A and B are shown apart, each in its own frame.
Chain A
Amino acid sequence: MLTTRTRKRVTLKTVSITPMRPRPNPRTLLACLGLVLTQLVWTQASISEQRPLAGERVRLVVGFGAGGGYDVYARMLAPHLEQETGATVVVENWTGGGGVVALNRLATDDTEGLTLMLVNGPSAVMGQVLGNEGVRYDVSAFTWLGRVFAEPSVVLASPVSPYRSLADLTSADLPVRWASAGKTTTAGTPALVSQALKLRSEVIIGYKGTSESALAALRGEADLVAMSATSARAQAHKNGLVPIAVVSHERISLLPEVATVAEQINLTPSQNRWIDYGITVMGLGRSLATSEHVSPERREYLRRVVKNILTDTTVIREAAAQGRPIEFGPPSELLASINRALANENEPTRGELRHVILEKFNP
Chain B
Amino acid sequence: MFDAYLQGVQSLMAMDVLLAVAAAVPIGLVFGLLPGLSGLTALAVLMPLVYGMEPLVGLSFLLAAHAVVYTGGSVTTILLGIPGSPPNAATLMDGRPMALRGEAGRAIGAALVASALGGLVGMVALLALLPFLQPVIVHLGSPEVFALALLGISYIAIIGHGDLFKGLAAGGFGIFLSCFGYQDITGVPRFWSGSEYMLDGFRLVPLVLGLFAIPEIVDLAVSKRQQFRITPDSVSADRLRHGMREALIHRWLLLRAAWIGVLVGLIPGVGGDTAPFVAYGSAKQWARDPARFGTGCVEGVIAPEASNNAKEGGALVPTLALGLPGSAGMVILLGGFLLLGLQPGVGFLDHHTNVAVALALVLAIANVLAVIVMLAAVPIVVRLLDVRGELLAAPLLVLVVLGAYAVDENTMDLLFVAVFGFLGYCMKSLAYSRPALLLGFVLGPTLETYLHISLQAYGASFLLRPGVMVIVLLIVGGFAWPAYRRLRLRRKGDRDAPC
Contacts and interface: CB of A to CB of B under 8 A. Distances in A.
Contacts of B185: 205-206
B338 to A, nearest CB: 5
A240 interface: yes
Interface residues of A, number: 49
A240 B135 CA distance: 13
A135 to B, nearest CB: 10
A215 B15 CA distance: 37
Given A101-B196, A218-B138, A93 B408 contact: yes
B456 A239 contact: no
A27 interface: no
A214 B453 contact: no
A297 interface: no
A100 B199 contact: yes
A93 B449 CA distance: 27
B196 A237 contact: no
Interface stretch (A28-36, A39-47, A67-75, A163-171): A67-75
Interface string B384-396: 0000000000000
B323 interface: yes
Interface in A185-243: 202, 204-209, 211-212, 214-216, 218-219, 221-222, 234, 237-240
A97 interface: yes
Contacts of A363: 456
Chain B residues touching A, range: 35 or more
Interface in A82-107: 92-93, 95-98, 100-101, 104
Give the dominant DSSP class at A's interface.
Answer: mixed
A205 B187 contact: yes
Contact of B346 (A66, A68, A204, A240): A240
Contacts of B160: none
B322 interface: yes
Given A204-B453, A205-B187, A212-B269, A238 B199 contact: no
A323 interface: yes
B324 A211 contact: yes
Contact of A216 (B339, B343, B457): B457
B196 A67 contact: no
B47 A67 contact: yes
A335 B358 CA distance: 49
A206 B347 contact: no
A72 B339 contact: yes
B436 to A, nearest CB: 25
A75 B50 CA distance: 13
B322 A96 contact: no
Nearest to A204: B456
A133 B185 CA distance: 15
B498 interface: no
Interface in A319-341: 321-323
Contacts of B199: 96-97, 100-101, 133-134
A22 to B, nearest CB: 63
A323 B456 contact: no
A52 interface: no
Nearest to B138: A219
Contact of A202 (B343, B346, B456): B456
A177 B142 CA distance: 15
Which of B44, B187, B332, B347 has its CB near the most chain A CB atoms (within 10 A)? B187
Interface in B141-184: 141-142, 182, 184
B44 A214 contact: no
B200 A67 contact: no
B327 to A, nearest CB: 11
A348 interface: no
A237 B345 CA distance: 9
A287 to B, nearest CB: 21
A133 B318 CA distance: 35
Contacts of A211: 268, 322-325
Contacts of A321: 341
Shortest 8 CB-CB distances between A and B: which pairs?
A: A238-B345, A97-B199, A66-B44, A67-B332, A67-B44, A206-B449, A206-B185, A206-B184
Interface of A: 65-69, 72, 75, 92-93, 95-98, 100-101, 104, 132-134, 177, 182-184, 202, 204-209, 211-212, 214-216, 218-219, 221-222, 234, 237-240, 321-323, 362-363
9 contacts: A66-B44, A69-B335, A95-B200, A96-B200, A183-B186, A207-B453, A215-B324, A219-B141, A234-B323
Given A100-B199, A206-B453, A212-B268, 12 more contacts: A96-B408, A97-B182, A97-B189, A104-B196, A132-B187, A205-B185, A211-B322, A211-B324, A214-B324, A216-B453, A216-B457, A238-B323
